[in-house]
Amino acid sequence: MTGLPGESEAGAKLKRTALRDFEAPLERNDPRWRTPTYKLTVSPTDAPVPVLLRYALTLIGLTPGGPDEKVAWWVGFTYKGEPCTLAHEKFGVRLYLRTDRPEVEARQSLSQVIKKLQGTSKTVERLILDAAPDILGIGDATVLNQHYSLRRAYDYFRVRAESPDHIEDEMKTGESPTGKWTSFKSGEMEMQLNSFHDMIAAISAFLSLLEHDLVLALPFGDFDPEVDNVTNLIGARWGDKWDRVLGHADGGGTFRRQLTEVVERWRNPYSHGGFEKGHGATIWLHTPGVGAAVPVGLTRVRESPHFSFIAARESDIAEVFALFDQIDAWLSTVLPEAMEWIESGLDVRYDNEFRSELAIAKADGNFTRFLEYHVHRQDMINNMDY
């Protein structure tokens, strides 16, 4: 895909509206290049995605330049006949204007140019969003690697679940019109409840991390844009992602079953408003012989109901996290290149060029060198050392 559908129409619209005073840059021998230069540093809030400003200018026929030392790109143009340059430099987006008018007027023009460029956002964003499902679906995309931010959330709740803050017992006494009263709150029970709640949060965080890593792992396996649709895979349930990426791996069926049991027993009742998955409510069962209503949870995964609101024991918590540790270790053995890339922090590309280069590196036994090259290349991009 060399361009987006509707680019010509969008460019014509911008020429009539927001960018009607923008024209091609001056020839290098034009004397107006020798007038004083004024600079405006564009706030990140005014240009959250700088490349969209560049794209808007290309839609009206302007040609960007770059990269160069400490500059990712630049676009030259004239605004009302005066030479301007918009550049994405290492320390931000900057707009340059050359004019022999007073500085106050020059600053006003700089502000006008930025406002005009901001005015292109709706047209540009709509153009991209209309094409987004097809672009992502065929894999012409890079997915941001959020492994470590999701991992931090999991680690945070896990530590709290395994080592809850100590709470002392609390006993209160007092008097009321009906006599003396005493209340007691068990610190140990409060700690157990806190630990249980943090375990539920840790399970949810682990599943988010797992789903994210499985999506990032797709290009490292047999991903085929002719068959797989990335948009659909991202939106699939965790089990479907697991089956797609790990369904044929040795041990995959066992770990999937064990993880499903954890999810159905602990997470699902609390991620569906306190209701068991597959049924409409947690039930207080009027049980003959008990003399009270007993809360039970019903689930299609387990043949017999279990009590939903009794906190997990320490052994339950330990078993859950032991399983997660086993899954983590197993993933590193069945998806070695994918996990090594993910843990490097690099984002993941899905396009044909990247997947072809990756396949060659793996076949030649040069994956480590391939990864090191991309880490170095990303460092250069981050520092704009072109």
- How does DSSP assign 60-93, residue by residue? TT--EE--BTTEEEEEEEEETTEEEEEEEETTEE
- Portion of the chain with pLDDT greater than 90, in percent: 59
Nearby residues of 105 by Cβ (< 8 Å), 6 or more positions away: 99
pLDDT, one tens digit per residue, over 201-242 is 999 999 999 999 999 999 999 888 888 888 888 889 999 999
Burial of 96 by CB count in 10 Å (0-12 exposed, 13-18 middle, 19+ buried)? middle
Mean of pLDDT values over 280-294: 47
In the structure, what pLDDT confidence band is assigned to residue 304 with cuts at 50, 70 and 90?
very low
For the ranges 195-199, 204-208, 278-282, which has the lowest average pLDDT?
278-282
Mean of pLDDT values over 94-115: 96
**How crowded is residue 248: how many other Cβ atoms within 10 Å of its Cβ?**
12
pLDDT top residue among 374 and 309: 374
Q: How far apart are CA 327 and CA 322, in angstroms?
A: 9
pLDDT of residue 325: 97
Q: Which residues of 183-204 are buried (b: 16+ CB within 10 A; e: fewer)?
A: eeeeeeebbbebbbbbbbbbbb
Mean of pLDDT values over 143-151: 92
Mean of pLDDT values over 112-137: 90
Nearby residues of 169 by Cβ (< 8 Å), 6 or more positions away: 184, 185, 186, 187, 188
Q: How far apart are CA 310 and CA 292, in angstroms?
A: 16
pLDDT of residue 340: 97
DSSP H helices, 173-223, are 187-217
pLDDT of residue 286: 53
Instruction: Give me 191's structure tokens.
Output: 């700690």
pLDDT of residue 187: 75
C-beta contacts of 322-328 below 8 A and 24+ residues apart: 323/255, 323/258, 323/259, 323/262, 324/206, 326/255, 327/210, 327/255, 327/259
pLDDT, one tens digit per residue, over 49-80 is 999 999 999 999 999 999 998 999 999 999 99
* pLDDT > 80? residue 363: yes
* pLDDT > 80? residue 186: no
Q: How far apart are CA 207 and CA 213, in angstroms?
A: 10
pLDDT of residue 225: 84
* pLDDT > 70? residue 269: no
pLDDT of residue 1: 54
Q: How far apart are CA 370 and CA 257, in angstroms?
A: 35
Work out the mean pLDDT of the chain and round it to a whole number.
86
pLDDT of residue 213: 96
- Write the DSSP symbol of residue 266: I
pLDDT of residue 268: 64
Mean of pLDDT values over 286-307: 45
pLDDT of residue 273: 45
* pLDDT > 60? residue 48: yes
